[in-house]
Amino acid sequence: EIVLTQSPDTLSLSPGERVTLSCRASQTVSSTYLGWYQQKPGQAPRLLIYGTSSRATGIPDRFSGSGSGTDFTLTISRLEPEDFAVYYCQQYGSSPMYTFGQGTKLEIK
Amino acid sequence: QVQLVESGGGLVKPGGSLRLSCTASGFAFSDYYMSWVRQAPGKGLEWLSYIDGDSSFINYADSVKGRFTISRDNAENSLYLQMNSLRAEDTGTYYCARPTVAYGDPFDYWGRGVQVTVSS
């Protein structure tokens, strides 16, 4: 099983700031199979990024993803009030058992 | 539009069983893999299982292998999760999720989730 470790667990930031979230894998993950989701309280997760760097339908271009091998990042270039949420990375094919990271909570400072 | 609606949750005693359903609409259900994902209260997401379109390729997370069974009825556009030998740590919200198409695709559609509580 591939373990994904996200850091930090919590980030306190202000609207307008730039943020980079980290996702580190216990073994190599193909860039094809790494994605990011956003989840707000009481809601189902929403796909943001797939294939490491491709934005899902309707996702604003302030969200971007990058990385390779075991280190991946999600960057939000300029935080909007609606971006404060929990973010999860997921590998969905480098191993037959899909896995999620434990999540990073983005909170308003 | 794509819709996934879970049902069948509730309160069950440890050691008991429950069967969750997910009714799909708005897409050709039999063409798609489907998955179950859960979330314990205040915790992160945990992938549980996936099944391919004709039920020939199935996999489970170690945490539920041997206790949970995924299945589908393409004629009814329905996905199921039979949960046996339930434990307190199985408590949480259970989501069905659809990938873009198949294995190796991210989950682009999710249901709203159904609550399962395992408690005496």
Please write the tens of the pLDDT for every residue from B45-68: 999 999 999 999 999 999 999 999
Omega prior to A8 cis, within 30 of 0 = yes
**Residue among A25, A61, A21 nearest A37 (CA):** A21
Is the Cα torsion angle A101, A107, B4, B10 positive or negative in sign? Answer: positive
Instruction: Give the whole-number percent of chain A exceeding pLDDT 90.
Output: 94
Does residue A97 sit at the B interface (CB-CB below 8 Å)?
yes
| Interchain contact, B62 vs A97, CB within 8 Å | yes
Nearest to B44 among A1, A96, A100 (CB): A100
Average pLDDT of the residues in B36-49 = 97
| Interchain contact, A100 vs B45, CB within 8 Å | yes
| Interchain contact, A44 vs B104, CB within 8 Å | no
| Interchain contact, B108 vs A39, CB within 8 Å | no
Q: How far is B120 from chain A (nearest CA, A)?
A: 25
- Chain A contact set for B107 (CB, 8 A): 37, 45, 47, 90, 92
Average pLDDT of the residues in B16-37 = 97
Buried b (16+ CB within 10 A) or exposed e, B88-106: eebbbbbbbbbbbeebebb
* Burial (0-12, 13-18, 19+ Cβ within 10 Å), B13: exposed
The whole-number pLDDT of residue A42 equals 95
The answer to whether the beta carbons of residues A68 and B79 sit under 8 Å apart is: no
Is the Cα torsion angle A9, A79, B40, A45 positive or negative in sign? Answer: negative
Nearest to A100 among B47, B59, B99 (CB): B47
Give the pLDDT band (50/70/90) at residue A17.
very high
Nearest to B106 among A1, A92, A102 (CB): A92
Does residue B8 sit at the A interface (CB-CB below 8 Å)?
no
Cα-based distances in Å from A60 to A75, A76, A77, A103, B99: 12, 10, 10, 21, 21
Over 90: is that where the pLDDT of A105 sits? yes
Does residue B110 sit at the A interface (CB-CB below 8 Å)?
yes
Does residue A103 sit at the B interface (CB-CB below 8 Å)?
yes
Does residue A41 sit at the B interface (CB-CB below 8 Å)?
no
The answer to whether the beta carbons of residues A103 and A10 sit under 8 Å apart is: no
**Residue among A10, A22, A20, A17 nearest A79 (CA):** A17
Picking from A46, A97, A99, A100 by the largest number of B CB atoms within 10 A of its own CB, the best residue to mutate is A97
C-alpha span between B112 and A28 (Å, rounded):
32
The whole-number pLDDT of residue B33 equals 94
* Burial (0-12, 13-18, 19+ Cβ within 10 Å), A90: buried
Over 90: is that where the pLDDT of A97 sits? no
The whole-number pLDDT of residue A94 equals 82
Comparing alpha-carbon positions, the chain B residue that sits nearest to A95 is B104
Average pLDDT of the residues in A61-75 = 98
